[in-house]
Every structure is written in structure tokens, then in C-alpha cells.
Structure 1
Amino acid sequence: MEMRKPYFTLYQTAILSLCGALVFVAKTFVNLSLHLPGHSYLLVAVPFVFGCGVVRKAGAGAYIGLISGLLASFFGFEAYHIFDILKFLAMGVTIDIVGVAFSHRMDHPVVGFIAGGAGSIVKMSVNYAVHLLLGVPATFILLGIGISSVTHLIFGGIGGVIGALVLARLMRAGVIGTNET
């Protein structure tokens, strides 16, 4: 019987796991105090875009989202622990879709902006869906979704650009190879 090769190599699994842990740390322990909704995604989108850009395989964002969601669920400080897995997983899957649509060119700032912004918007939408599911009145959610969606898009997009620029710089320096397998 022939052994199948794993989808992610050990190197890729380590990178993705570290990026998932960085997402958890950025969301939980780093406080920018900008008093705007979605401002934390300035830092949260960076590991997502970076990890997906290093690995360049479909499923990388979902893996990062799963790891960060599990960490947030077990150790997080938000009220809806188990739903953190779903929220971060949705963000990762969205960034995966953007990565596949743009041939995994996460080192380009425009792709980074689209990936970070879209991931942040989807995570915000899943968060509001969870609140609706748990009985928060829809009027409160509709009032908060307008400005919140714009700031999530902006901060997530800027975080994606930062991740893309860091990734591109490391690729140019030769620290990260472009055809890692």
C-alpha cells in the first residue's frame, strides 16, 4: 500500500499554525484604542495574507482561520466562544477564495487589500449573523452595520496591504522561496 503525501508539508503546516497563533494574539492582546469598529483587523489581516502568500495553496486561509478560531474559542475573552471558530474560519475561507481568484498572488498590494477587506467584511457579517441567531434585535444590528462595514473594509484592506508588502519584501530578499512545496 502506497503512502499518500500530505496536502501541506511540515514547513507549510508550521507557517500556517504560527500565522493562526499570530491572528489570535493580534485580536486578543494588541489594543490600538482607535475607538472605531474593525480597527483590530489592521493587524489581524496581516498573518492571514502572509500565510496564504507563503503557502500558495487553497485551504491555507481556512487552516489559519481554524487555528485562530480554536485558540480564540478556548482562550479568548469574547462572550460567544464556540462561534469564534465559525467567524475566523469564514474569514480564512474568504481569503482563500480571493487567493484562488488571483492565482495566490498575495504579494501584490491590491490583492492584499481585496483579501484583507473581504475577509474582514465576511467575519463581521458572520458575527452579526451569530448575534441574530442568539436573539439580538435586528434593529440594533442594522444600525451598527453601516459604518462598521466601511471601517472593516478599510482596516482589513490596510492590514492586507501590510501583509502583502511584508511578503513581497521577504520574497525579494530571498527569505521566502516562490515555489515552496
Structure 2
Amino acid sequence: MSAYDINGSPAPEGKGDDSKKISFRFCRECSNMLYPKEDRMSNTLMFACRTCQFSEQAAASCIWRNSLKEDVQETAGNVDDVAQDPTVGSDSPSDTYMTEDEGDDDELDIEAQDFEPEMCTMCGQEILCPICERPTDAHLSLEVPDEAELSEEEASDAVEAEKRERQQSSA
């Protein structure tokens, strides 16, 4: 937690590390937050409620501290929650974009939830397919045999397979 302790009144009285912390104080009558106020008659620091007339004398004279270095030190190296974050990518980016479907022969199953941009949003450079390392075509890389080397039946099958892939990726 941060250097600000959110316990109720009264503030901790221990010296040492607790003396550096500034605690929020709450009204004992209406449970609203107490704010620092000067008692001009006795020249002392008081904590007063803004909704009711409750006030109490402040145990410490520090009411605000700008501690930038403490905040950085508390969070440095704290990466436990990052390992559990599902939005952080895996080690192998090719595994998340395309996986081979064991039921079909050489057809790639592309999940609709995966999104691979065509251009890098930082530098504008074209992004290549993680498997074949060729430019992507609307987030889709299909390998189709050369139609000149295929028979007419194989060529029509290849076109149908490409149409099925495009329908699956747009669904």
C-alpha cells in the first residue's frame, strides 16, 4: 500500500516508520473525513469535521507530504500481478495467431478474437506473418499452390478452400 494509511481515528502514535505516514482521520460522530484547521485562540493544529461541529487536537504537525521517491521504491520490482495478466502476450507469438487444425489437411484455423495489424502503430513498417514471414493480407496469410501446376479439379478445390478460410475469418 502507499505511504498513506487509511485507518480510522486516532492516528498511530508509534515512532519510526509509522511517524512518516500520514493517516486520514474520521469524525467520531458522523464518520466523515476530518480536515486540518487552525485554532487561532490557542494557536494549535486541529482536525475538524465540515458537516458537524466535532474537532480534535492533532497529534502530529505534519498534514501533507510530497514523497515521490517512496512511491517509486514501493512499486519497483513488483511484477507478481503482471505474470497473471491475460493481456500480456505469450513467449511464442506464432502460437497465438495460427494453429494447425488436425482434422483438416494443411488448413490453418485463425481465431476471430486474434487481431494482427497490417502496419506497426509505432513506426509504420509492414508487419510480416509470424509463420511464413510474408506480408499479411487483411490480417490473413493463406498459402495456395500455384494454379498453373494444378489440375482443374485441384484448382477449384483450392479456390473453395480459400473461400471457406475467408468466411471463417470474417465470422
* TM bracket (short chain): 0.3 to 0.5
TM-score scaled to structure 2, two decimals? 0.33
Higher strand share: 2
TM-score scaled to structure 1, two decimals? 0.32
Of the two, which has the highest radius of gyration?
2
